[in-house]
Structure formats: structure tokens, C-alpha cells
Structure 1
Amino acid sequence: MSRMPLTLAVAALATAAAALWPPQGAGHEAEIPATEEALGERLFFDVNLSANRTQSCATCHDPATGFADPRGMASPGDDGVSLGDRNAPTATYPALTPRFHRGADGEWVGGQFLDGRAATLEKQAGGPPLNPVEMGMADEAAVVARLREDPVYVEAFPALYGDGVLDDEGAAYDAMTRAIAAFERTDLFAPFSSKYDRWLRGEAELTDEEELGRLLFFSPQFTNCAECHQIGTRQMDPAETFTDYSYHNIGTPENRRLREMNGVPLGTVDEGLAGNPAVDDPAQRHKFRTPTLRNVAVTGPYMHNGVFEDLRTVVLFYNTYNTRSEARKINPETGAPFGPPMVPQTISLEELEQGPALDDQRIDALVAFLETLTDARYEPLLDAAD
């Protein structure tokens, strides 16, 4: 099965996205949000919360494209020059991510961002405005000043959080993050409307290929997928997010193309979990939180650094841990072998080496199943990427 990489189908995506997420009607900007969720929605789309007034949360987490950024391997910053070193992950189903904590086995679990450095959704919401390579505001005071200059916020914040809230910079910033997090907890972000969900409810039928992919995905005898991409041990959970929120180094190769663009020296290790201020453990180097697979087919490019364009390439990469054939270890996007791991000492080999090698039929079946995890409103994007 051959698919056009999603990032090469931006024009088609834009056309499809227009129907999925129409612009707000006239007068919307003057409406006073009456709920925390409505205020959060306005803040999520507000470019005035960035230094040059060009970037909002939705810029890199576009609701028309799976709350991800289809523009490339990493997102450009508000300054028009900066380019990050990580791919912007989908922001769908964020409220179901647990707080950053140690699990019963002592391993780190949950948290926001790929390294869990924000323990909660509120903490995550406060990060991008102050990140110099993202929205680029100088400090919380600068953000609150932008809130105070908007008459809608001047009326909405006191109504929802109490008189004088905008006079206290810390309280105002916390209120802003609470509102954004409240919006991100709405069903818009987590509709559970995919073909897979409809199949669970008896409202749709899987094709033979999709059903084969489903069986392979959940079978520990044939793949290692559900080892990390399943929230629990019970199959067919109607609230399945397809991640256990654990942290792993899977040996993802360096994205040399991205680093030639953003100026990060080749060979620089992204410390991942080990770079989280709450973690002081070299054994966690280059480990990243297991992402949800919901909407994975329409939110490429893939991996923490956007190194792979196509979802099938991702499955082929995982298969390199199980196959002995050198021909099966070729990256179809480059025609060369997959690059070496950045930190081989911390790779989760125990999880990755489970199961036999997969042939093309089974790889295609897994991709077909992963496509069924696409929320209904994004299903037109599957066609746009063909």
C-alpha cells in the first residue's frame, strides 16, 4: 500500500479542513464567554498572546488537522525564524493523560509534553506562550498585559474568576491556563467517534484487512504494539486511548534534515525524560512518552523529531527489531538503512523485540487498522493523503 506523506498533501488538507472547521461567524470576537470552556476556546485561538501576534495554540495544534501541525517536521516560532527540534504532537484526548507520577513499578508515567515536564494540562497550557521558540512572550506579566488590553477578557475574567483577577498577574495567568485546559477537556478533543469506536458500538464493520490489523495489534504473539499502546489489559475498552503513557527510547534515528534547518548541531542528544527537571536519572535518557494512536494516520510526520513522513514507514521501523533480513531494514523514504539510535544504552529492547517479523501483508493490515482510529471529522483527511 502506498500513501502520499501527509506533509506533502497540505493543499488537499487545507481544502478538506475548511469544511471541517469553518471560521467563526461575524461578531463572534465581541461575544463575552459565559463559561470557562468558552473562554478557553477564545484563548486557544488568540494570536495576540504571542510576541508578534502571529501564533496561537491552534497554530501548532490545528483543530482542522487532528490538533497537530501539518506544516512540517517541527513548528516555526512566532518570531518567523525559530524552528523547534521536536514535532508537535496531536493534542487530541489530552484530558485522559494522567498527572506525571511514578507508577507502581517505579517507572515514570503520564504528564504533558513528550518529556512530561508539565505535570498537568493546566501547566502545559502555560508553557508555549513563554517559550522563546514558540509564542515568545517575555514573561507572565507580558501575557497578562495582552489580556488586559482586550475588552472581552476584561469583562469575562472577573465574571468567571472573581473581581480583580486581572490585577494579580499570577492569578490571571493561572486563570488563563485553567480556561484553556477546560476547553481541552471538552468532547471536541475526545469524541471517540472513529470507525473503530463505531465498530465497538456495532455501528460499522471493519474490512478484512482492518480486522486482520486489529487482531495483530492486540496479539502479543504477533506484535508488540499493545505492550505500550494500550491503556490497560482489557481489550476493546470503549475509552481506549492507545497508550499506557509510559516512557521509552525506541531507537529513533536522528532527524538530520531538521537539524540542518534549525541549526541544532548534528549528534546532539535530546535528553527526553532525563531532561525533565523532576527526573535525575541517566537511565531515562532519550525516553519519550508513548503517544496516543488516535488520529495517528492524519497527524504525521512521526516520532518525537518528525523523522518519518509516512505511517507505514513507522511500522517498518518497528519491524527492524524483529526481522533478520537486511532488506527489511531499509527506510523507504530514503532508500538507505534506518539510521542508528541516538542513545543505544536505554532502548526498550525487552518490549521492542517481542513477536516475529511481519511480512508486507501484515504491515499493511496494521496500517489499515491504525487508520480506523481516525475521528469521524478527520476521515476526509485520509482521502486527501491518498
Structure 2
Amino acid sequence: MKKYLIIFILPALIACGNKQKEKSNDGYEDLHPIATNFFQPISSLDLETPDADKVNLGKHLFFDTRLSGEGNISCNSCHNLNTYGVDNERFSPGDAPGTVGGRNSPTVFHAALHKMQFWDGRAADVEEQAGGPILNPLEHNIKDEQQLVDRLKEVDLYLELFSKAYDDEDPITFDNLTNAIGAFERTLIPESRFDKYLEGDQSALNTNEKRGLKAFIDSGCITCHSGPALGGQMLQKFGLFHDYWKHTESEAVDLGLYDISERESEKYFFKVPGLRNIVHTAPYFHDGSVQDLDDSVRIMGKLQRNVDLSDEEVNDIVAFLGSLSSDIPEDVKQSPFEM
């Protein structure tokens, strides 16, 4: 009887195995080792776990409108955690009525993975970046560091939270404030399906997405958009082959890094943005001049690689970019002042 069972069961097992093999054999098996040469999953990074008390303080500060002159905006106003760390506005409204920021607000998700901050790279890390908008009259509109420190010292909650997070004689300082906000932002690094793919699960991407990944690599996008954040590691001229504003139809020409350095060779240089969650963070580029991701991909091919990407290539690359999406837990998105 056992002999007959084996005879009947064995072909079924073989057929099942062949079916599974066919399911995983989509012709892109050799793509994975190539991809791991250019990208790294978040799990491979040696990320330090921020102090819990600093993270808690930083979250309170991130959501607190008292960090703006008239109390009209918070960090979350421009970097809304419910919409992937952006406000989806071309330029973000400031604290003072009628004011707006000068450049598009990038996502705060995964920003801690970047080598520099701001579109012109003037801040080294998320801690230094946190102080910039607060003191900018077009953004948070706080006149100086002392004004904010004095304001927070009048809040019992912050007397408690700062003392708990920092073992200093006078814990409420502007440096500690930006350090705490940075600690909170360093927790906003969710993993995507692409991370699972890089870790070895080739089924994490479908065939369309793998085709887009191959097109992304073959088109030379990895020249700037590589590493764990798929960007954020360098400054690059926007418009290597053509004037960018002629393709983006920008209302004004931004000189980028030149505004700081005044070096002719650094005109139109901007930080290369990371591409994680890019399908959710429109509008695109430093001036938010392009709303559609397909158009952005096509424009980048022309400006940076001097190639005319086909509709099929654009569609495939956009499909791949969708695999970079990831979100943070719902409780992290919720304001501590509403809990």
C-alpha cells in the first residue's frame, strides 16, 4: 500500500515544485546581485537607537505650535506625518500671514539617512536642520533662540520632559531642543518592500517592478540615486545637459548652492533627494514645479542623462519607485497633545 501511495504522491510533489519554480522564475533572477551593488536595505545599517526620553520630548516639540512666533505652525505642518512627512504643497505656508517658504519641503521620513540636509546641503544632520526653519522669518518666525527658550521654560510639561531627557543643570536650551527633534526624526525610517527584496526575498517585487528596477539601473539613475536612501548623499547640478527651468517650466530660476558659495561652478547645484516614498511626496524638485511623477522621471532622464525615456521605460521606473513606499505606525503619527 505504501508503495502505491509513493507512486501517486511523488508526481504531485514534483508538479507542485515545478509550479513554484515557474512562479518565481520571471527572468530577473540575475538582477538581485546587481541591485545589491548599488542599494542597501535598512536592516543592513548600523543605526543607533535614540534615547526614549529624547524621542518623546522630540515628538512633543515636533507637534508643538509654540515653536512658531504666532503659534500658527509646527514642524508637522510642513512635514505632516499623516502624509509621508510632507504637506504636498509647492511651498509651505509660514507662521506669519501671507508668508511661504522659499523651497519645497522635503519629506522628513528617512531624512536621517542623508549625508546633508536642506536643498543646498547647508546642514550636516537632522539635528542641525531642525533649528533652521524655527529661526527663519518666512517659516516658524522665532526671532532668536532665547525667545523660544524663555517661552518653553514657562511650560511645566517641558520643565519635566527636558529634565528627564537631559541631565544638565539648565536642560532647556536651543541645542537640546534641536537634538531632541533630531532624535525623534531618527525613528522615522520605515522599511519597504524593496528592502525585503534586497534582503533576498525576490518575490517582494513583481515582474513590472523588477523591469523598472532594471531600467532604473540601465538608464544611469543609480549615478546619484543609490545607497540606502536612494539619494541624499551628494550635491549635483540640476540640468547637466539642459537648462532645468525650460523643462520644469519653473516660475523662477533658483541658483541653488551658488546663493551660499557664490562660486560660478556651483550654480544650480542642489542636494540629490532620496527617492523613498517618492510616489507620495509630490510636487517634485526644489521648487515643486512638477506635479506628476511620470513627468518628473522623463524630465530627469533628459536633464541629467540626456536620454529620451520611452513611455514603457517611464511606466516601469515609476512602478519600481512604488516599491519604495513605506509608512510609520499610526500611533507615531498622532500628536501627543491629542492623545
Give TM-score scaled by structure 2 length.
Answer: 0.75
CA displacement 1:95-151 (0-9 Å, x = unmatched): 2222xxxxxxxxxxxx21010111222211111111101111111111112211211
**Does 1:272 pair with 2:256?**
yes
Identify which of 293, 317, 329 aligns with 1:366. Answer: 317
More helix as a share of residues: 2
Which has the greater radius of gyration? 2
**Against the structure 1 CA distance between its residues 122 and 244, is the aligned structure 2 distance closer, same or farther, given a 3 Å change threshold?**
closer
Amino acid at match of 1:80: P
| 2:125 counterpart letter in structure 1 | T
2:222 partner SS? helix
User: Does the 8 A contact of 2:257 with 2:267 survive in 1?
Assistant: yes
State the match for 2:193 in structure 1. Answer: 195
**Within the alignment, does 1:114 sit opposite 2:119 as a pair?**
yes
Change (3 A) 1:41 1:198: same
Task: Write out per-residue CA displacement over residues 142-180 of structure 1, whole angstroms, 9 at most, x where no aligned residue.
Answer: 1112211211111221233235425xxxx7000101101
Distance 1:51 1:254 in 2: 38
1:221-260 matches, within 5 Å, as 223-231=219-227, 240-243=228-231, 245-251=233-239, 252-253=244-245
8 Å contact 1:129–1:143 — kept in the other structure? no
What CA distance in whole angstroms lies between the structure 2 residues aligned with 1:357 and 1:34? 49
- Structure 2 SS opposite 1:178: helix
User: In structure 2, do the counterparts of structure 1 residues 121 and 376 end up closer, same or farther at CA, with 3 Å as the change threshold?
Assistant: closer
Q: Point out where structure 1 has 5 or more consecutive residues left out of the alignment.
A: 1-32, 99-110, 232-239, 260-266, 322-350, 379-386
**Given the alignment of the two structures, is residue 185 of structure 1 paired with residue 203 of structure 2, yes or no?**
no
| 1:155 corresponds to 2:160 | yes
What 5-or-longer segments of structure 2 have no aligned partner?
A: 1-50, 330-339
In the superposition, relative to structure 1, how do residues 254 and 120 fare at CA in structure 2: closer, same or farther (>3 Å)?
Answer: farther
Q: CA RMSD in A?
A: 2.4
Q: Distance in 2 between matches of 1:134 and 1:164?
A: 31
Match of residue 50 from structure 1: 68
Residue 89 of structure 1 and its aligned partner are, at CA, apart by 0.6
Shift of 1:255: 10
CA shift, 1:42, in A, is: 0.7
- 1:303 maps to 285
Post-superposition Cα deviations, 1:204-241, rounded to whole Å, max 9, x if no partner, equal 4322221110111122xxx121110012xxxxxxxx21
Q: After superposition, where does 1:67-146 map in structure 2 within 5 Å?
A: 67-70=85-88, 72-98=89-115, 111-146=116-151
d(CA) in 1 for partners of 2:151, 2:249: 36
SS in 2 for 1:253: helix
Letter in 2 for 1:364: N
**Which of 295, 306, 309 is 1:313 aligned to?**
295
Q: Distance in 1 between the 2:247 and 2:142 partners?
A: 28
In percent, how many aligned pairs have the same letter?
Answer: 36
- Whether contact under 8 Å (1:274, 1:282) holds in the other structure is yes
| C-alpha distance in structure 2 between counterparts of 1:93 and 1:318, whole Å | 22
Q: Are the counterparts in 2 of residues 250 and 352 from structure 1 also a CA contact under 8 Å?
A: no
Q: Secondary structure at the match of 1:129?
A: helix
Relative distance call for 1:206 and 1:256 in structure 2 (3 A) is closer
Q: Which region of structure 1 is more displaced relative to structure 2, 44-53 or 77-86? A: 77-86
Give the distance between the partners of 1:93 and 1:45, measured in 2 at CA: 18
Q: Which amino acid aligns with 1:196?
A: F
Distance 1:254 1:174 in 2: 42
Which residue matches 2:46? none
Which ranges of 4 or more aligned residues in structure 1 deviate by more than 3 Å? 254-259
1:286 aligns with 2:268: yes
Kindly tell me the number of residue pairs found equivalent between the two proteins: 274
In structure 1, the partner of 2:27 is: none
Please list, as runs of the form range in 1=range in 2, the aligned pairs for 1:54-69 lying within 5 A after superposition.
54-69=72-87
**Conservation of the 8 A alpha-carbon contact between 2:213 and 2:320:** yes
Distance apart, 1:34 and its partner CA: 6.5
| Aligned amino acid, residue 53 of structure 1 | G
1:14-37 per-position Cα deviation (integer Å, ceiling 9, x unaligned):
xxxxxxxxxxxxxxxxxxx97111
Distance 1:52 1:255, change over 3 A: farther
SS in 2 for 1:126: helix
Q: For residue 104 of structure 2, give the secondary structure of its aligned residue in structure 1.
A: coil
**C-alpha spacing 1:255/1:174, structure 2 compared with 1 (3 Å):** farther
Return the alpha-carbon distance in structure 2 between the equivalents of residues 140 and 212 of structure 1. Answer: 50
Give the match for residue 212 of structure 1.
211
What is the CA–CA distance in structure 2 between the aligned matches of 1:285 and 1:352, rounded to whole Å? 18
Q: Which amino acid aligns with 1:136?
A: N
Instruction: Give the partner amino acid of 2:299.
Output: F
